[in-house]
Amino acid sequence: MGNFININQLNSSELKDIISESFIFERNFHQNKLDKYNNKNFIFLFLEPSTRTKTSFKIACSILGINVIDVSPENSSIVKGESIENTLSTLNSYPVDGIVIRSANHEDFEIAENILKFPIINAGSGINSHPTQTLSDLKTLSEKFEDFNGLKISIVGDLLHSRVAASFIEGFGKYGQKTNLFSPPFFKPKKLNLEMVNFYEDFKECLENSDVIMALRIQKERLNDLNIDFDEYASKYQINKRILDEYNIKYLMHPGPVNEGIEISYGLQNSEKSLINEQVKNGVWVRCAVLDKILREDTK
Ligand code: CP
């Protein structure tokens, strides 16, 4: 497999195989039937904060018997001003089997690809790509729907900054499906591939065409000069129980973390129609499948 940077590097059957493998990992774990790797080491380099992705990668490594070497930026020489290039060159000297990287800069992955001799897994890059989140989302949907033909998944909210949406569109496209999108004008992406998405200008029209809503976090850390009145936003675009019921929406998804009271109402995360906790749970199994595929097929 080499590096895993984008969903689009997988063809349809490779992606579906990873999802199938993730179900096997989950089942075998619960039946105490998992083989473990010996003497495998992965570095974690999370240059942006993470709860779900980092924790699930750590648990997946623990389940598979992979040692984790966590290079936290706040406790590393990055705080002394060491460049990303020199940091990666340093890490490249160690006898490790792979690295999991999260960075606000997608360009860091190109730098890493040029420097590192071991496989790289993208745990979230800027506004570009979050491939293992998509795998988790697709496994979650696979648990609820036998197939995805005609399934109306609508991603709503801060599309402008969403690596989750960008990767999901690619992943759902591997099943031959278009993703529905809605955002207010200030969150509308500059480019839309209309072969892959249906973009709705009207919120209600999007809701009417949704079996599942995936709400997106407003990424306050990336808003820059965009001034958003969060109360006004919530009053116009918040997903709440009334909307889920009125529009007959079967499930709510959200990659997390949630801005409760803004893009979704308080408490909705743990309500009957929410798959948010399943998305988190499935993060472990898809990451097991990715780590296993990388270690089995290490061609770097
Ligand atoms: N969904 C997601 O990437 O969450 P974290 O930022 O907590 O990892």
CATH assignment at residue 84 = 3.40.50.1370
pLDDT at 251 over 90: yes
Write down the pLDDT at residue 141. Answer: 98
List the structure tokens of 99: 């690295």
Instruction: Identify which has the larger pLDDT, 35 or 277.
Output: 277
Same domain assignment for residues 26 and 89: yes
Write down the pLDDT at residue 281. Answer: 98
Band (221; pLDDT cuts 50, 70, 90): confident
Band (35; pLDDT cuts 50, 70, 90): confident
299 domain-assigned: no
Same domain assignment for residues 139 and 267: yes
| Omega within 30 of 0 (cis) for the link into 119 | no
Domain that holds residue 28: 7-130+280-294
174 domain-assigned: yes
For residue range 257-282, list pLDDT tens digits in order: 999 999 999 999 999 999 999 999 99
1 domain-assigned: no
2 domain-assigned: no
What lines the ligand 1 site, CB under 6 Å? 50-54, 124, 133, 255-257
Write down the pLDDT at residue 224. Answer: 83
Q: Tell me the CA–centroid distance for residue 124 and ligand 1, in Å.
A: 8
Band (222; pLDDT cuts 50, 70, 90): confident
Band (299; pLDDT cuts 50, 70, 90): low
Instruction: Identify which has the larger pLDDT, 134 or 223.
Output: 134
Same domain assignment for residues 20 and 52: yes
Q: What mean pLDDT comes out for the span 100-117? A: 97
Same domain assignment for residues 88 and 63: yes
Write down the pLDDT at residue 119. Answer: 97
pLDDT at 300 over 70: no
300 domain-assigned: no
**Best residue among 47, 51, 139, 279 to mutate for probing ligand 1, ranked by most atoms within 8 Å of CB:** 51
Atom 1 in ligand 1: residue holding the nearest Cα: 255
Q: Tell me the CA–centroid distance for residue 130 and ligand 1, in Å.
A: 9
49 domain-assigned: yes
Same domain assignment for residues 61 and 167: no
The pTM (predicted TM-score) of the whole model is 0.96
**Best residue among 47, 133, 263, 287 to mutate for probing ligand 1, ranked by most atoms within 8 Å of CB:** 133
Q: How far apart are CA 285 and CA 64, in angstroms?
A: 11
Q: What is the tally of structural domains in the chain?
A: 2
Write down the pLDDT at residue 72. Answer: 87
Q: Tell me the CA–centroid distance for residue 123 and ligand 1, in Å.
A: 9
Atom 4 in ligand 1: residue holding the nearest Cα: 52
Q: Tell me the CA–centroid distance for residue 84 and ligand 1, in Å.
A: 22
Q: What mean pLDDT comes out for the span 63-77? A: 95
pLDDT at 292 over 80: yes
Same domain assignment for residues 27 and 151: no
For residue range 116-149, list pLDDT tens digits in order: 999 999 999 999 999 999 999 999 999 999 999 9
Which atom of ligand 1 is closest in space to residue 124's alpha carbon? 3
Q: Tell me the CA–centroid distance for residue 74 and ligand 1, in Å.
A: 18
